[in-house]
Amino acid sequence: MNKLISIEEVLSKLSSGMTIMVGGFLTSGGPNQIMDAISLSGVKDLTLICNDAAFIDKGLGKLIANRQIKKLITSYIGSNSAAVEFMNSGDLEVEFSPQGTLAERIRAAGAGLGGVLTPTGLGTKVQENKEIININSKDYILEKPLKADISFIGASISDKSGNLYYKGTTKNFNPIMAMSADIVIAEIEELVENGTIIPENVHTPNILVDYLYVKK
């Protein structure tokens, strides 16, 4: 199967109202060219799951600034003034999830788990409207899995079958987001022949990757 697709084909997979995950940490390691294209596409009413709101003029932050996001599930928005403004005005629904909890909720979906139990957030707004479970006389919040229609992730190197390698800290949220969506599209910096990436350097196996977009 040829997994290589154009940016036009990437956009054809997306429609208004979908839930998407986007990898990266303040745009580092993120699929930023794809985000640029989506910001010009006109799709709207998206639910966005990501580590942070990025920047007003970069990466996924452009989607927030363009009012293409109706709900944001994230751990941090302070780097994006539009996200802060829209949340305070009621134009953007924001669900905050502590970073470690966010990662575990995404991983739980990929692993087929019903959720994760954590004490993080007890006694704060994070706890509101969530089930509390007591185990061995200690309370935990039940945090439910997060799954998306499409995960857009970034990778440093891919072979033609879709085995992915991430350089350094660009790994961040990308591997777990590759586990937790119906469709996974990876924006890659370098495409190599099958067999070039040695097995122990495969961070995300090709069975999890549906499509590859080579960064221009």
In a domain, 84, yes or no: yes
Question: In the chain, how many domains are there?
Answer: 1
71-78: long-range pairs with CB below 8 Å, 24+? 71/47, 71/95, 72/47, 72/48, 73/47, 73/48, 73/49, 73/97, 73/102, 73/146, 74/48, 74/49, 74/50, 74/102, 75/51, 75/99, 75/102, 76/51, 76/52, 77/52, 77/53, 78/53
In a domain, 142, yes or no: no
In a domain, 122, yes or no: no
Report the predicted TM-score, pTM, of the whole model to 2 decimal places: 0.96
Q: Report pLDDT digits (tens) over 127-161.
A: 999 999 999 999 999 999 999 999 999 999 999 99
Q: What is the mean pLDDT of the chain?
A: 97
Q: Report pLDDT digits (tens) over 188-213.
A: 999 999 999 999 999 999 999 999 99
pLDDT computed for residue 211 by the predictor: 98
Measured between alpha carbons, how far is 147 from 162 in angstroms, rounded to an integer? 21
Q: Report the run of H or E that residue 194 belongs to, with start and end.
A: none
In a domain, 135, yes or no: no
pLDDT computed for residue 125 by the predictor: 87
Tell me what the mean pLDDT of segment 77-87 comes to.
98
Q: Which domain holds residue 160?
A: 7-114+147-214
DSSP reduced 3-state for 195 = coil
- Residue 91's domain is classified under what CATH number? 3.40.1080.10
In a domain, 124, yes or no: no
In a domain, 24, yes or no: yes
Measured between alpha carbons, how far is 74 from 59 in angstroms, rounded to an integer? 15
pLDDT computed for residue 89 by the predictor: 97
194 C-beta neighbours (distance < 10 Å), count: 11
CA-closest candidate to residue 97, choices 108, 87, 88, 106: 106
In a domain, 139, yes or no: no
Are 166 and 156 in contact by the 8 Å Cβ rule? The answer is: yes
In a domain, 127, yes or no: no
Give the whole-number percent of the chain exceeding pLDDT 70: 100
Structure tokens at 121: 């957030």
- Checking if the pLDDT of 1 tops 80, the result is no
Q: Report pLDDT digits (tens) over 27-65.
A: 999 999 999 999 999 999 999 999 999 999 999 999 999
